[in-house]
Amino acid sequence: MREAAIPSLFNRDCGILLHPSSLPCEFGIGDFGPCALRWLDQLAANWQNLWQILPLNPAGYGDSPYQSLSAFAANNAFLSPEALHESGLINDVELESLRLPNGFPVDYAAVYANKLELAARAARRFFGLDKQDPQRLAFADFLRGEADWLEPFALFSALKSKFGGVAWTRWPRAYRDRNPEVLEAAKVELAEDIQRIYFEQFHLSKQWRRVRWRAEELGIRIIGDLPIFVAHDSVDVWCRPELFRLSADGNPRVVAGVPPDYFSSTGQLWGNPLYDWEAHGATDFSWWRARLRKVLDWVDIVRIDHFRGFDACWEIPGEAATAMNGRWVPAPGWKLFEAFAADLGYPLPVIAEDLGVITPEVVALRDAFHLPGLRIEQFAFGSDAMKDTFLPDSYDGNCVAYTGTHDNDTVIGWFNSQPGIDSTRDAQAIEEERVAALAYFGGDGSRIHWDFIEKLYHSAAGAALMPVQDILGLGSEARMNTPGTASGSWGWRITDESALQSALALLSAVTVASGRGLAAEPVVQSISGPP
């Protein structure tokens, strides 16, 4: 790359991390309808100009958005009954029948049953419309434009249902190995289910597009999330096994994870199959380029989870019980990001999640493409060798700073944590962290979450973000995810809207005082051309 001025991706921006599933809504889960539009209005009214979400793809094992059934499709749990009602595809009685309590945790079984009923009813009406109806014409355009990923995803989903939800490696061999004649017969047999899935994806796209338009009107950018790896039980691996390191029966020969860390003394065994990078390189990374383009159809900026995996991945034998006995193997991150830059130009709309075991090579890769990295305020007070870099006083304009992420405990939960629960810290380490935090902030801990937020917003970080749980001052009961656990995550929701309004009002004052977000002075940047 030749040297040139590259504009910054962020300039005193700020906002909140909140997955759509956590939005208050009367249908059991937040969705892409009015609740998302109201949330954007609330952000703008309180000077925030960023909304960060987790992956929007169909959740897989453990209801995790990081173990998705597809890297390209959207989760049908986010289909809005109210939006379909507004389109005339369900009636008043049907809308009322779909209501579920606005509680937490999310009852995913009830939600998916509800959304299946919703889609089935609405699809029958939709396909009863004349083919020249504007809605049907738009649907036909959508099918043509998205066929590359949509047709395989619909067939995969219909087959998964046919075989009782088991992983594709446990399907009858002809289906597992994608026998062409068998799959053609399946398309006929499962035509109704396939058409319903097309319908779901069309309306999810339509509903989210309305959310994007509203965000743009309000001056809010949406930050998405792209997991570096895909789930083994996904259409991506089933359809393109040559892109992954698999055995003849489709099972992974090696899997992804991380070595022992803050969260687990035996490491984290994620179980995702590792890429065959040579095969990806032979296609000029076409699958990866299409994947990033698709995510950026949905969001303005994307955080790539586990960025260090583009330099080297922690390779674990496929049959291993823990992540301890792995090894680092190189990955072609430079070539891949050169391809991304050729497609998208600069600044790349990418945030590098550069936490964990970060080497000089990872830093060089991140900085060469001018990617902002992450700073986690909670990590500033522990034993991490890099803890000083997590102190707000050390932040610079090319970092994205958080009180904590979806993987961390809340600030209140962290401050009041107990030894041996959800981390590798003992009682002494926890107490030392508390003492260090109190000394740094100069308070008594009674408003520790606001100590964190105020320091974060007044820092030099290009963007300041926090989970909504931290402005609400909630404890560990509100944690979104606990890494290394198979269940019990991803279910938290906002249930007290009056508390949310009060917390946002306090955040509004902090935002104005720190000159961030929509309260920041506009800055005109000089761009001399792409590097």
Task: Give the residue numbers annotated as catalytic, written as ranges.
Answer: 305, 353, 407
Q: At which residue do the structure tokens 């040579």 appear?
A: 278
The helix or strand, by DSSP H or E, that contains position 455, with its residue range, turns out to be helix 448-457
> Tokens at residue 439, please?
């000394």
Please classify residue 499 by burial: count the beta carbons closer than 10 Å to its beta carbon, then call 0-12 exposed, 13-18 middle and 19+ buried: middle
Of 471, 472, 489, nearest to 480 by C-alpha is: 489
The secondary structure of residue 330, as a DSSP letter, is E
**Rounded Cα distance, 275 and 293, in Å:** 19
- DSSP reduced 3-state for 20: helix
- Edge-first strand order for the sheet with 373-376 is 350-352, 301-305, 221-227, 50-52, 13-17, 463-467, 399-402, 373-376
The secondary structure of residue 467, as a DSSP letter, is E
> Tokens at residue 89, please?
């595809």
Of 52, 477, 412, nearest to 225 by C-alpha is: 52
Asked whether the CA dihedral 506, 511, 512, 514 is positive or negative, the reply is: positive
Contacts 24+ apart (CB under 8 A), 129-137: 135/87
One-letter amino acid at 175 equals Y
Count of CB atoms situated within 10 Å of the CB of 34? 16
**Rounded Cα distance, 150 and 131, in Å:** 20
**Rounded Cα distance, 150 and 65, in Å:** 19
Which runs of consecutive H residues, i.e. helices, occur in 346-419? Answer: 360-368, 411-415
- Edge-first strand order for the sheet with 268-273 is 268-273, 254-258, 312-317, 327-330
> Tokens at residue 171, please?
């399907």
Backbone angles phi, psi at 139, to 5 degrees: -65, -45
CB-based contact 220:15 (threshold 8 Å): yes
